[in-house]
C-alpha cells in the first residue's frame, strides 16, 4: 500500500507539471463558462423548461472529447517512449498498480475541473437574486447531474489510459482516445437513430443500444431521476478497461 501511495503521488506530480494538464483546464473552463453564460442568457430572454444548469450539463460531452485525451495521452505512451516505464516495471510494483495510479491521478484532475464548474451556478445564484424564482441553482438537480458526470467520467478516463497503452506516441494516443470517446458517447445515439425492426436478425440490437445511450442517461439524471443501470455499466466497463490495460502494459514490457 505504501508503494502504491508513493506511485500515485508521483503520478499526481507529473500531472501537475505537464503542460497538457493546464491546456486542458484552460480550454475546459473557458468553454464551460461560456456555455453556462449562454444558458443564462437564453433563460432570461425567453421562458424555458430547462434550467441553466440542465442546459449547461447537456453539452458536457463536447469538452470531454478534448479534455480526456489531453489528461491521459501522456500517461503510458510518453513513459514507454522515454523508456521510464520499462524501468518502473523492474521495481517491486505490478502493472495493475501502475495503471491504477495513472488512472486515479487523471481522474482526480477530471473531478477537480468539474468541481470548479460548480462555481458558475453558485456565483449566478448569489449575484442574480432577482432570478431566485427561476431555479438557477437546484441542489438536488446539481447532485444527480454531477453524479452522472463523475461516474461516466471514470469510464472516459479509463478509455484514455487504454488508448495511451497501445502506442508510444502521445499524438497517436490522443487521436485514439478521441476516436474511442466519440464512439462511446455519440455512437450509441447515432445507432439508435436508425430504424430497427421488431423482429428478425437485427431485433436484438434495439435494447442494448437504448441501454448505452449517454444522452438519454444524462437526461434522466439531470431530471433528478436516479437509475442504477448506468452505474453498473460505467463502473464495470471501467474495471474491464483497466484490467485489459494492465495486461497490455505487462505484455509490452515483459
The pLDDT, as a whole number, for residue 223 is 63
The pLDDT, as a whole number, for residue 104 is 93
Residue spans of beta strands (DSSP E) within 104-243: none
| Count of residues making up the chain | 254
Contact partners, residue 250, CB within 8 Å, separation at least 6: 89, 94, 95
Q: Which of 235, 231, 112, 103 is nearest to 157 (CA)?
A: 103
Q: Which of 183, 221, 193, 251 is nearest to 58 (CA)?
A: 221
Cβ atoms 246, 95 nearer than 8 A: yes
Cβ atoms 37, 46 nearer than 8 A: no
The pLDDT, as a whole number, for residue 212 is 61
**Three-state SS sequence of 50-62:** CCHHHHHHCCCHH
The pLDDT, as a whole number, for residue 69 is 92
CA distance 108 to 71: 10
CA distance 85 to 67: 24
The pLDDT, as a whole number, for residue 242 is 94
What does the pLDDT profile of the chain (254 residues) look like in tens digits? 777 788 888 888 888 888 888 888 898 999 888 888 887 777 777 666 667 777 778 888 888 899 999 999 888 888 888 877 777 777 777 888 889 999 999 999 999 999 998 888 888 777 765 554 456 667 777 788 888 889 989 999 999 999 999 888 888 999 999 999 988 888 766 655 555 555 544 444 445 555 566 666 766 666 666 667 778 888 999 999 999 999 988 887 66
Q: Is 135 exposed, middle or buried (0-12, 13-18, 19+ CB in 10 A)?
A: middle
Contacts within 8 Å (CB) and 24+ apart, 195-203: none
Contact partners, residue 234, CB within 8 Å, separation at least 6: 151, 152, 154, 155
Does an H or E element contain 229, and which? helix 228-252
Residue 186 Cα to chain centre, angstroms:
13
**Rounded (10°) angle between helices 119-127 and 19-45:** 40
Amino acid at each position: 500500500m505504501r508503494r502504491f501511495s508513493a506511485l500515485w503521488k508521483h503520478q499526481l506530480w507529473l500531472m501537475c507539471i505537464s503542460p497538457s494538464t493546464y491546456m486542458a483546464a484552460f480550454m475546459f473552463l473557458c468553454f464551460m463558462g461560456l456555455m453556462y453564460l449562454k444558458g443564462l442568457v437564453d433563460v432570461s430572454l425567453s421562458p424555458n423548461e430547462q434550467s441553466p444548469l440542465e442546459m449547461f450539463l447537456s453539452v458536457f460531452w463536447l469538452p470531454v472529447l478534448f479534455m480526456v485525451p489531453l489528461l491521459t495521452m501522456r500517461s503510458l505512451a510518453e513513459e514507454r517512449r522515454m523508456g521510464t516505464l520499462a524501468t518502473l516495471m523492474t521495481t517491486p510494483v505490478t502493472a495493475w498498480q501502475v495503471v491504477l495510479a495513472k488512472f486515479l491521478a487523471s481522474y482526480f484532475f477530471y473531478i477537480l475541473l468539474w468541481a470548479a464548474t460548480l462555481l458558475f451556478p453558485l456565483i449566478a445564484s448569489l449575484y442574480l437574486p432577482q432570478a431566485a424564482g427561476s431555479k438557477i441553482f437546484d441542489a438536488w438537480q446539481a447532485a444527480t447531474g454531477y453524479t452522472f458526470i463523475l461516474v461516466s467520467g471514470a469510464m472516459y478516463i479509463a478509455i484514455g489510459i487504454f488508448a495511451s497503452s497501445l502506442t508510444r506516441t502521445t499524438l497517436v494516443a490522443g487521436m485514439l482516445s478521441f476516436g474511442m470517446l466519440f464512439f462511446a458517447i455519440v455512437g450509441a445515439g447515432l445507432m439508435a437513430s436508425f430504424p430497427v425492426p421488431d423482429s428478425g436478425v437485427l431485433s436484438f440490437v434495439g435494447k442494448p443500444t437504448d441501454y448505452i445511450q449517454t444522452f438519454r442517461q444524462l437526461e434522466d439524471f439531470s431530471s433528478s431521476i436516479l437509475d442504477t443501470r448506468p452505474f453498473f455499466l460505467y463502473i464495470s466497463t471501467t474495471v474491464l478497461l483497466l484490467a485489459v490495460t494492465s495486461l497490455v502494459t505487462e505484455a509490452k514490457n515483459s
